[in-house]
Amino acid sequence: MKPLVTLSLLLALPLLSLSADDAKEKARKQERATAKLPPCAACTALVQSFEKGMERTARGKFEGGDADWEERNQVSGYASSEVRFVEIEEELCKDVERGEQQCHQNHQEWEDDLEEWWRLTDRDQRPLRQWLCVEQLKVCCPEGTYGPDCKECRVKDAQGRICSGNGKCKGAGTRKGNGKCSCDDGYKGDMCQDCDIGHYQSYQDDEKKLCSKCYKGCQTHCTGAGPKACIDCKPGYLMSPEEGCTDIDECVLEKPCQGNKFCVNSEGSYRCSPCSDACRGCDGRGPDRCTDCADGYRRGGKDGKTCVGAEEPGKLLTLSNTRYFTYAALCFVACILLQRSVALAGALGLVIALYISVSEYFLRNAPEL
């Protein structure tokens, strides 16, 4: 690879990677912004954004301007003023993680309702979500209720805890669901009172049962923590009487990778990665791990074991000769400029010297692609 091309690739690769990452992040942001939330979740998102705006505009000392005028001339002051309401609306929905566009549309549709709540004299005792989402729009239910008629969740244990404290009733807080238990991760049963597959009971008292996750190598159940507690093992693991479920090194036992690839073991599995272009078979990454050299390569390098590009002896236009011809041509150009301007020739000479130094350093020290 010619030095100029090599340097260009080195400079371009980070930019290309950055550009690709930027494009992916932009796509993710667009996807989050255009996401459509269910009615109750959409209303809750708008309420949460409005409440954050109230926190942002909660002033301890008034800073003059319109707010200062309203504080002096209105009975309610800035805290309940139109100025503050407008300040909240200006930033509304901008902090919503998912469904920002939907939030803006809902704001336009529900702005009159927000203004009506803002004018309530007892709004401190009437939470916005309850007033807007539950009472006015009827898209949500109070906590602990579910369904179109906001029925009370009745799946409670002897202590009165919904789903034994290990889940929630389906549809709670919304106008949907059937009121049955939706268990947290690790729990199962009508009342979420049992440990699910892949979990074990790590603690229990008169009030609570705690289920913890089994070791990652366990296939189904386990009796406790660690690989020795597994009842059986997942594929990629082997049951050992002394150590329990241990990882199988498929790369050693099975040698699964064929062709010009080498095996990399991972926990419970493996992957096949391509060898260097300099290799015909390898046992690892890089031209120094070749079992044999590919056509056009030979053993060489500092250790004598690395597969490097083989140049035909006696051939005039070898890679090295081409490089040296390039250096010589650049120096010749500098000599021509010297007859017209010493300063210009000197500046070009410094650039040429830097270019040669960087090129040679890279060619001697960079790994083979």
Domains in the chain: boundaries: 34-136, 145-213, 252-309, 330-365
| pLDDT at 7 exceeding the cut of 60 | no
CATH class of domain segment(s) 145-213: mainly beta
**The pLDDT of residue 275 is above 90:** yes
Please give the pLDDT value at position 314: 44
Of the ranges 47-56, 226-235, 280-289, 307-316, which one carries the lowest mean pLDDT score? 307-316
| Contact yes or no for 224/200 (Cβ under 8 A) | yes
Give this prediction's pTM: 0.58
In angstroms, the CA 44 to CA 130 distance is 10
Here the tokens at position 251 are: 């790369």
- CA gap 266, 250 in Å, rounded: 9
pLDDT at position 364 is 63
Whole-number Å distance between alpha carbons of 157 and 52: 36
Burial of 19 (0-12, 13-18, 19+ CB in 10 A): exposed
Using alpha carbons only, give the angle 191, 158, 186 rounded to the nearest 5 degrees: 30
Number of H-type helices and E-type strands within the chain: 9, 14
Contact 239, 228 (CB under 8 A): no
- Does 20 have pLDDT greater than 80? no
CATH topology of domain 252-309: 2.10.220
Please, what is the average pLDDT of the chain? 84
pLDDT number for residue 336: 76
